[in-house]
Structure 1
């Protein structure tokens, strides 16, 4: 548990002033991408800043010269496959400096994977280079592992050894797997409170964690750490501005990963991550930012944000951005029990209708050409359902899928930023799920900073229509600050949305166990986040039966 008296950042991460601009990953014209925005073509060039090769290769730093712990940001693993898992770290002896304290030199890092916590039963080992062009991040796609196995991993450079992480591989493809325990988290604004939920999540017995977006926020963080109220050590002023550049985003990840509870959750479980808006900018839609700026001005920022995201998450090389583009949607399996179709609902979406504010649906929002996923991702999803042989088809994604009427008027307002603002696209997915015979459909959602449980209806405006699946919204880790069990609109939302089976405004996560007969969801909540050390409890539990969609209290 986080110490209740903590009043500042961890002592090993005391900030040191550094005013130099980040020299790594300097952008220069290397790739041209043409966009069509309001019928005008905009040409834009980006670099991928690949590590240098040959005679002009980046110089290498002797690891023995690193005099401070370079593993301040911890370790992580992700995207487990039957025979492999991705392990990650990032070297940063001075994490709050633009270059992490390592300048522009490469560093050689060794890694080990073992079958036991003491590392006496080594399974794999090797070396990798931490490139300055990638913020000295290190990722190893460890191959040749046993399906369904548990492993421990760590990194070493010079005399420094990283914390150990624990991870696992997925069961064999198509295996008759009995169960899977997962957790879903989202929305962890550093300035809104402590990551107590992550500390409890680190102690949960789960196989994998899905992070559904808003891993960080681009907003300024003052010297007191916002609601954390640091008094003994002040955060540097570099964080007290909105993140817009590659250096900004890299240091913002360093700030977030300086939290020991977040590091503990990553070390305890493999993560499957996807982004929402705040990893780049609030409510952006494709190439359009919140202020409807010229895409030629916004896309360099998106390129910087996407690069920093990849550098700081346990993602494979397939997800490496190319300028402002990155293929983040992907498919994972857990034996024959579950297929996970991880979505990206930001990069390809049409701009929000009627502005970003809630609005009554109308011709603009219901235009069939509007999309939240983009055509290619939509086809990929529908095709994947058509060929799925999994018992559970799980769709981890970002924004509320089910209809959410925000008032009791006959023509109620809905969120234009969620699937309610893209009803034609939602209708195509509902029709596709029915056509593919997806019997056990589970949607995992973040974004809204509250916990919801929805029955997904064939027709949300007809309470008597068939239930097609279940949506579980995981609330936030901290975003929104201390929550309450019944927000002011609690009664209105429950009355306006008969398919809404549960609504709670406190912070936490959802824990789900998928089985051969049913799925059980436990909403785990903490009462406060503005002071550390709060206990965790279960606010409610629900079950949905295999072959019989619909939630019942457990």
Structure 2
């Protein structure tokens, strides 16, 4: 979603000295190419550069020579499985520099996982190398853990010990676990305010957090931190330009993770992450960027953005990019209570119809060949529903799924960037869910910077048609700055969309409790994000009963 004050097209897309690593990595090109882009595009879009080996290996350090705290970006965990969880950190004693202050040396890092926060009862430990090729990020897929259990983890290099994180594993496969608490967050523009919502979420009793995209924004951040209006901090000028190169994106993640509330929420809960557009560039679609640039150049940028995303998130090796491609959509399970089908609605989509503006749907947007998911992901999703044994089928994804008319005209405008611009694709998913007998379908959505609750209808134009599921939109953490309880278009949207049951424009997150009888959603909001320390409250709560879709206010 576009933000006010976006800079114009950046000239930084031309190859610069910052792209030296891209040129080097281009020698390691994979044989596969992305779509039908020319060989020149493939040459620019580097694959993941593997750490050097043998005689060409980078010098190794045990961390003893590191004189400043290297754990400035905190710790995180993610994608819990019944017997394992991924733990992450990134060494950066000088986080606002391109190499994090560690140059090209490999650094040995020890890790341990314990049953207690004092680390007396350590159950797993080991060592791993932090490679400069991966920005000294560290990830360990800790295996052999007990299902449905909480653990504490930390890292050590030299004399430095990281903060401790708390994580957990999923219940055993086939387990009839009775309850799950999750939260969904999205859209955290650093320059639009403080991460107060993350601070509150860090103290919530939830099992897992889903981040639904726009973890960072590519836009420039001035020396005062934008709306944060720092008086005691001066940010380096390196941030006061749009991120386009690998170094830019790496440092932008460092800026975001410098926030203590973001570090706290990662340390408190395992995350399941997926991207939207701003982790790369506003409203891009596959290999098409916002400004219609040469696809070869944009894929170079996309490769840099995808690689930095993987380096800075608790993701397994299966999600590591190959050049401008990464398999981010994936499936997780929580016993027989819930199946999570995490989507990627950016990488494979057809370009937005009608110039990516709000428009009345028509032949261009309704072309059956158009897709938001791509054919392979669509088949994967529908096939997964067909084999699901879960009570709740949860679909964490990015853009508004339900129909959303933007005005009261007989032929209403809709967003061409959301599922309304890809109605044939949405129709196939609805048909697939019905054919698979998905009775308890829950869609989690980000992107729009407001909280919505929708009944998903069989026919959105007929309020009396069957309700097939529920969509919950989690608002933004900061994006859009301070929101209001009643946005100016609220009444219009509620009248134009009878299946829209709730609309609130404040910042925050949605907390969801699933059990065998119902799902309860609490929309948690803060009154302001441009000043720190705002309290959190519940704006509204809804329940949908298992086997009987439809939202009921609590």
- 1:189 aligns with 189
Please give the alpha-carbon distance, in whole angstroms, between the structure 2 residues aligned to 1:259 and 1:44: 36
> Does the CA-based 8 Å contact 2:19-2:245 persist in structure 1?
no
Asked if the contact 1:186/1:477 (under 8 Å) is kept, the reply is: yes
Deviations along 1:190-245, one digit per CA (max 9) or x if unpaired, are 00000000000000000000000000000000000000001122100000000000
Post-superposition shift, 1:264? 0.1
Distance 1:36 1:178, change over 3 A: closer
Q: Which residue of 2 aligns with 1:47?
A: 47
Question: Could you tell me whether the CA contact under 8 Å between 2:18 and 2:245 is conserved in 1?
Answer: no
CA distance in 2, matches of 1:53, 1:27: 15
Kindly indicate whether the alpha-carbon contact (under 8 Å) linking 1:61 and 1:105 is maintained by their aligned counterparts in 2. Answer: yes
Does residue 444 of structure 1 match 2:444? yes
Following superposition, the deviation at residue 44 of structure 1 comes to: 1.2
The alignment partner of 1:86 has SS state of strand
1:342-365 CA-to-partner distances (Å, cap 9, x unmatched) read 000000000000011100000000
Contact 2:47 / 2:324 at 8 angstroms: preserved in 1? no
Question: Is 1:35–1:42's contact at 8 Å kept on the other side of the alignment?
Answer: no
Give the drift of 1:54: 1.4
Q: 5 Å matches for 1:464-479?
A: 464-479=464-479
Q: Are 2:346 and 1:346 equivalent residues in the alignment?
A: yes
User: Superposed, which structure 2 residues align to 1:307-322 within 5 Å?
Assistant: 307-322=307-322
Q: Equivalent residues in 2 for 1:241-320 (5 A)? A: 241-320=241-320
* 8 Å CA contact retained: 1:209, 1:270: yes
> What is the distance in 2 between the residues matched to 1:20 and 1:406?
45
What secondary structure, in the 3-state scheme, does the structure 2 residue paired with 1:200 have? helix
Shift of 1:58: 1.1
Task: Using the TM superposition, give the Cα deviation of residue 37 of structure 1 relative to its aligned residue in structure 2, in angstroms.
Answer: 5.7
| Residue number in structure 2 paired with 1:428 | 428
User: Contact conserved, 2:78 with 2:87, CA < 8 A, in 1?
Assistant: yes
User: Which residue does the alignment assign to 1:30?
Assistant: 28
Indicate conservation of the 8 Å contact 1:509/1:524, yes or no: yes
Report the equivalent of 1:105.
105
Q: Which moved more, 1:477-486 or 1:230-239?
A: 230-239
Distance (whole Å) between structure 1 residues aligned to residue 362 and residue 28 of structure 2: 42
Q: What residue number does 1:3 align with?
A: none
How far does residue 34 in structure 1 lie from its aligned partner after superposition?
A: 3.7
Describe the SS at the equivalent of 1:80. coil
CA distance in 2, matches of 1:180, 1:310: 27
Shift of 1:62: 3.8
TM-score normalised to structure 1 length: 0.95
Indicate the larger mover: 50-59 or 506-515. Answer: 50-59
- Structure 1 distance, partners of 2:53, 2:287, is 32
1:136-535 alignment, distance < 5 Å = 136-535=136-535
Aligned to 1:95: 95
Q: CA shift at 1:29, angstroms?
A: 2.9
Verify the 8 A CA contact 1:22 1:99 in the aligned structure 2.
no
Per the TM alignment, residue 42 of structure 1 is displaced from its structure 2 partner at its CA by 6.5
Alignment partner of 1:28: what SS?
Answer: helix
Name the SS of the counterpart of 1:354 in structure 2: helix
Aligned to 2:5: none
Local SS of the residue matching 2:390: coil
Q: Any idea what SS the aligned residue of 2:184 has? A: strand
Tell me the TM-score normalised to structure 2 length. Answer: 0.95
Deviations 1:108-160 (A, max 9, x none): 00001000010000010000000000000000000000000000000000000
| Alpha-carbon distance in 2 for matches of 1:205, 1:229 | 32
Q: Which moved more, 1:412-421 or 1:59-68?
A: 59-68
1:7 matched residue in structure 2: none
| Shift, 1:47, TM fit | 3.1
Q: Tell me if the contact between 1:23 and 1:104 (Cα under 8 Å) persists in the aligned partners.
A: no
Q: Taking structure 1 as reference, are residues 172 and 481 closer, same or farther at Cα in structure 2, changes over 3 Å only?
A: same
Superposed CA offset, 1:82-132 (max 9, x none):
000000000000000110000000000000100001000001000000000
Aligned-partner Cα distance in 1 for 2:39–2:113 = 49
Distance in 1 between residues matched to 2:26 and 2:292, nearest whole Å: 25
CA distance in 1, matches of 2:445, 2:19: 35
Matched position secondary structure for 1:384: helix
Deviation at 1:170, TM superposition (A): 0.1
